[in-house]
């Protein structure tokens, strides 16, 4: 078992800074792949040995296959006190690591470092029982899944943008009324259309705290819309995957 200590380190938002940033980090540990769980044809969960890795729900880690220079960031999907670490990964067409991981042999040791990031719930707001609205597209639901499972009394709504209904990953992990799938390429179970259409149709909740995660187009569009609707920038938090 590896007993490397982990610490929370300053994140970077700029990908071009990645090389110098990661080369300054020394906290790399080896973690065994315990399982690969396919959820759809292209999306799967990588289950990793946790050892003594600790994180706050919403944070991400950096994963690399030893000997291959392919470090990539992945938000943590599992809850803080789970005995393993789950990552929810979408196989990207022409991608490298997301393709290779899908077929990796169980038992392979990969390198992980972290946790990183400040896309987390704030203790003060949790104590005040604030209402949270989590807006995600695709695997951008990962940090919210961890937040919800780690905080059983959380008052929240998840608005999940997906192309097909089958991409409502682990929807049963959320109370039915708190999870709304917005399906864009077939008739939706909850809502047909994009998350921005859903927000426009349902209106914003002025006193809620918004967390948005996914591709940059959606994150910019939703945060711009929320600001126009009068949500304070202080109450709009974002994480961009690509
Ligand atoms: C903070 C952070 C957290 C992340 N968390 C997750 C996560 O939980 N799950 C996850 O699947 N990915 C996540 N990513 C994206 C991940 O780091 C990789 O970019 C992704 O897996 C593609 O890697 P690759 O080596 O297969 O493709 P690459 O060869 O690195 O990239 C190929 C192309 O695919 C684009 N791309 C990256 N992700 C996607 C996507 N989901 N859909 C379509 N195009 C994409 C890239 O911008 C690039 O143009 C996260 C990224 C960041 C910055």
Name the strands in the sheet holding 131-137, side by side, starting at the edge strand that comes first in the sequence: 191-192, 179-183, 155-162, 131-137, 209-214, 236-240
Distance 12 CA to ligand 1 centre (A): 15
Cα separation of 93 and 239, whole Å?
Answer: 22
pLDDT in tens, 8-52: 333 444 444 444 444 445 478 999 999 999 999 999 999 999 999
For ligand 1, whether the C-beta of 163 sits within 6 Å is no
Tell whether the model's pLDDT for residue 238 goes beyond 50: yes
Structure tokens at 45: 């969960």
| 139 touches ligand 1 (CB under 6 Å) | yes
Burial of 13: CB neighbours in 10 Å, binned 0-12, 13-18, 19+: exposed
88 contacts 45 by C-beta, under 8 angstroms: yes
Rounded to the nearest integer, the mean pLDDT of the chain is 91
Ligand 1 pocket residue status of 96, Cβ below 6 Å: yes
Local confidence band at 81 (pLDDT 50, 70, 90 cut-offs): very high
Catalogue all structural domains in the chain, each as residue range(s) with its CATH number.
Answer: 15-116 (2.40.30.10), 123-240 (3.40.50.80)
Which residues face 191 on adjacent strands? 182
Whether the pLDDT of residue 189 is over 50: the answer is yes
Q: Are 57 and 146 in contact (CB under 8 A)?
A: yes
CA–CA separation, 180 and 188 (whole Å): 10
139-169 pLDDT, tens digit per residue, is 999 999 999 999 999 999 999 999 999 999 9
pLDDT 10s digits, 105-147: 999 999 999 999 999 999 999 999 899 999 999 999 999 999 9
Q: Which of 42, 68, 98, when mutated, tests ligand 1's pocket best, judged by the most ligand atoms within 8 Å of its CB? A: 98
Q: What does the alpha-carbon distance between residue 107 and residue 140 come to, in Å, rounded to a whole number?
A: 27
């Amino acid at each position: 078992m590896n007993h490397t200590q982990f610490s929370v380190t300053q994140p970077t938002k700029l990908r071009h800074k990645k090389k110098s940033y990661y080369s300054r980090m020394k906290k790399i540990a080896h973690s065994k792949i315990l399982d690969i769980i396919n959820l759809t044809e292209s999306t799967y969960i990588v289950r990793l040995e946790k050892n003594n890795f600790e994180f706050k729900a919403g944070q991400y880690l950096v994963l690399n296959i030893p000997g291959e220079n392919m470090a990539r960031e992945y938000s943590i999907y599992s809850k803080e006190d789970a005995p393993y670490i789950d990552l929810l990964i979408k196989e990207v067409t022409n991608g490298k690591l997301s393709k290779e991981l899908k077929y990796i042999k169980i038992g392979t040791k990969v390198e992980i470092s972290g946790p990183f990031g400040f896309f987390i719930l704030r203790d003060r707001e949790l104590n005040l029982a604030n209402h949270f609205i989590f807006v995600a597209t695709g695997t951008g639901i990962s940090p919210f899944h961890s937040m919800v499972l780690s905080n059983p009394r959380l008052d929240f709504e998840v608005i999940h943008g997906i192309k097909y209904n089958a991409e409502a990953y682990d929807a049963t992990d959320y109370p039915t009324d708190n999870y709304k799938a917005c399906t864009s390429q077939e008739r939706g179970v909850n809502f047909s259309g994009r998350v921005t259409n859903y927000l426009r149709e349902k209106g914003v909740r002025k006193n809620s705290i918004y967390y948005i995660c996914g591709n940059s187009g959606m994150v910019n569009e939703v945060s711009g819309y929320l600001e126009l609707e009068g949500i304070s920038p202080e109450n709009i938090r974002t994480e961009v995957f690509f």
